[in-house]
């Protein structure tokens, strides 16, 4: 890739190992129809904002702007499972005021950087599978908590399946990372 190739980016809550294991166990308890595409365990996340294509030259300014956004500890709990139009199976999450405030702050940072925001209301969720129109969630509801104190700037890598690279984490333990996750 050249410096002219744009990056495809998003901001996300990136689960720690124990939360990721709980999300994966819940995903694995579903009944998936033939052809369903469950999201690979390393790729499970909660998208805060989709950025889309961004010129590589703009990345340093964006990372600096994001670093100025304060991050408070957020607490999330599963609030239900469903299959959305288009066959996207999700675990909905209910967040606290800190999650809503972070979403709003990051939206302001993106808007100030000239990045368009999704006009739809924020609906915290983790995508569990695609092409899953007739999937059935487990009878027992997901019952666990997710505490997050950071967010990640993530690149969606080309190649057709959900492959991500965490470019940087912000919050309690911010640091640059090159954590390739393939799915």
Q: Is the pTM of this model over 0.75?
A: yes
The pLDDT tens digits of the residues spanning 17-74 come to 999 999 999 999 999 999 999 999 999 999 999 999 999 999 999 999 999 999 999 9
Task: Label the pairing between strands 7-13 and 74-84.
Answer: unpaired
Residues written for the chain: 183
| Residue 175: pLDDT over 60 | no
| Residue 149: pLDDT over 60 | yes
Domains plus CATH for the chain?
7-181 (3.90.1140.10)
DSSP string covering 96-148, please?
-HHHHHHHHHHHHHHHHTTPPPP-SPP--EEEEEES-TT-B--SSPP---EEE
Phi, psi of 73 (to 5 degrees): -65, 130
Q: Name the band, by pLDDT with cuts 50, 70 and 90, for residue 155.
A: very high
Q: What pLDDT, on the 0 to 100 scale, is given for residue 90?
A: 98
The gap between the terminal CA atoms of the chain, to the nearest Å, is 21
Three-state DSSP class for residue 78: strand
The pLDDT tens digits of the residues spanning 85-122 come to 999 999 999 999 999 999 999 999 999 999 999 999 99
| Residue 135: pLDDT over 90 | yes
Closest CA to 59 of 4, 22, 102: 4
| Residue 174: pLDDT over 90 | no
Residue 5 and residue 9: Cα distance in Å, rounded?
Answer: 13
Average pLDDT, the chain: 91
Q: Name the band, by pLDDT with cuts 50, 70 and 90, for residue 181.
A: very low
Closest CA to 43 of 73, 66, 23: 23
Q: What pLDDT, on the 0 to 100 scale, is given for residue 162?
A: 73
């Amino acid at each position: 890739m050249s410096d002219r190739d744009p990056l495809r980016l998003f901001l996300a809550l990136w689960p720690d190992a124990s939360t990721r294991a709980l999300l994966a166990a819940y995903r694995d308890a579903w009944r998936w129809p033939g052809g369903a595409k469950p999201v690979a365990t390393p790729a499970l996340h909660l998208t805060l904002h989709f950025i889309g294509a961004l010129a590589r030259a703009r990345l340093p300014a964006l990372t600096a702007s994001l670093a100025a956004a304060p991050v408070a500890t957020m607490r999330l709990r599963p609030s239900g499972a469903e299959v959305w139009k288009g066959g996207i199976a999700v675990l909905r999450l209910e967040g606290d005021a800190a999650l809503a405030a972070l979403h709003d702050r990051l939206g302001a940072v993106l808007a100030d950087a000239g990045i368009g925001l999704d006009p739809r209301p924020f609906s915290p969720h983790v995508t569990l599978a695609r092409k899953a129109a007739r999937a059935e969630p487990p009878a027992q509801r997901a019952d666990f908590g997710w505490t997050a104190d950071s967010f990640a700037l993530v690149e969606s890598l080309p190649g057709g399946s959900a492959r991500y690279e965490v470019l940087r984490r912000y919050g309690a333990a911010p640091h640059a990372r090159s954590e390739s996750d393939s799915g």
